Structure 1
Amino acid sequence: MSEPVSALNHAGFDGLAKVTECGLHGMITLRGDLAARAVKAAATGASGVKMPGPNEVQSKGDNALCWMSPDELLVICDYKDVRQVLDKMHKSLGAAHALAVDMSDARTMFCVTGSSARDVMAKLTPADLSPATFGPGQIRRSRLAQIPAAFWLEDDQSFRIICFRSVAQYAFDLLCTAAGAGSDVGYFSAAPIRPT
């Protein structure tokens, strides 16, 4: 029997920012009333982190809860733990009207890191990435050029991006092109201009 592998097997690129395919991650979609006690308990109990607010990510180590929409969370865990986490969630949900589904093999995750990471991402998405409106712990569902994607900031220089596995190569090529040498626009990474 073959071993599971990530879409691009940890492919990497080092340019204006470092682009890395992050390998296998457990990704569970949880749909339901996010205010319901059973749904909250399933999400927080499975992840070990507190419930995120709208457009937020709560994380601790490799575990995270990502707010995806008013009735959807993405639970991120270790890939090898997905079955256990799902079982725990289903028990916690009981008879609640909710859905928890393993999406791990349908998606892939990338990291974009470095002082120009915000500039690299801003070339590709219509989302406002200015520090005043998008900071660490916030998530957006938007587009990267022609594909849907979700992304968040872990810190001021580290993005995580999730997209469908079927477009992983396109996403990687896109990110590498945006991070290519000689393409720096310096909009967010440039030192602030001070009046004289």
Structure 2
Amino acid sequence: MATLQAQDFIERSPLYRKQAGATLGRLGDSVIVAHYGEHDESAQLARCALIDLTNLARVGFRGAESAEYLKERGYALPEAPNRALTQDDGSHVARLSQTEYLLLGSLRDAGRRVAQEERNWEFGEAANYLLPRQDSHAWLLLTGEHVSDVMAKLCGVDLSPEAFPQGSVAQTSAARINVIVINLGLGELPCFQILCDRASVSYFWDAMLDAMAEFGGKPAGIDVLL
């Protein structure tokens, strides 16, 4: 079998230069890190891991009628701003304001449902406006028992479990750039979904790994999530 190369795909992560030596896998028309090395990364995931999900689909909607539109599309919505819900298919919906929502795709379907929402949207009379997020935001997943400790080194907001419980959303800054931090775990596994400016993700990736080093943190691939 031929080895996958990042340059062979239409879409590749802005972090591809930092993923030398990783084993790559397909995610639709894009390439994503499957795993680093040959060992099982489950223990790393539980302790402290950083996963690049930038090539997984995401999209936003804003407007007075966005909530009704998304409900008609089958999404369960948070009841208040700065809250998030995981959907039955593994995708996520974060409510960023009274009328703005962010949809994050699921690895179970390689993000197809959320990607289809962006393709299906049409401009019309309804107060529901598309906010493309694929090219504006990068998406990282921080996992493990030390998620709050890592973020405490980079962010002035208290993201401890007591102050920032499951389903919380913080729109703040970390390592001096704007970020959206969403506390949505995978079962019992603590996870922070972190979105930042795509153009700044290379810098932010390094800042995250530096903060994680104290806790034995390392990058991981998506195979351990599947």
Tell me if the contact between 2:66 and 2:100 (Cα under 8 Å) persists in the aligned partners: no
1:141 aligns with 2:171: yes
Query: Alignment length, in residue pairs?
Result: 177
1:39 is aligned to: 66
The RMSD of aligned alpha carbons is: 2.8
Within 5 Å, give how 1:45-194 maps onto structure 2.
45-46=72-73, 48-52=74-78, 53-60=80-87, 61-77=89-105, 78-81=110-113, 84-90=116-122, 94-155=124-185, 157-181=190-214
TM-score by length of 1: 0.77
The CA deviation at 1:173 is 0.6
Q: Which runs of 4+ in 1 moved over 3 A?
A: 9-16, 78-83, 87-91, 181-184
With over 3 angstroms needed to count, the CA separation of the structure-2 counterparts of 1:180 and 1:50, relative to structure 1, is same
C-alpha distance after superposition, 1:144-192 (max 9, x if no partner): 12100001112362111011110111111111011013699xxxxxxxx
Tell me if the contact between 1:113 and 1:158 (Cα under 8 Å) persists in the aligned partners: yes
Could you tell me how far apart the structure 1 residues matched to 2:75 and 2:169 are? 16
Uncovered stretches (5+) of structure 1, i.e. residues with no partner = 185-196
1:189 is aligned to: none
Could you tell me how far apart the structure 1 residues matched to 2:216 and 2:14 are? 27
TM-score by length of 2: 0.67
With over 3 angstroms needed to count, the CA separation of the structure-2 counterparts of 1:148 and 1:119, relative to structure 1, is same
User: SS at the partner of 2:70?
Assistant: helix
Identity between Structure 1 and Structure 2 (%)? 22
Could you tell me how far apart the structure 1 residues matched to 2:168 and 2:98 are? 15
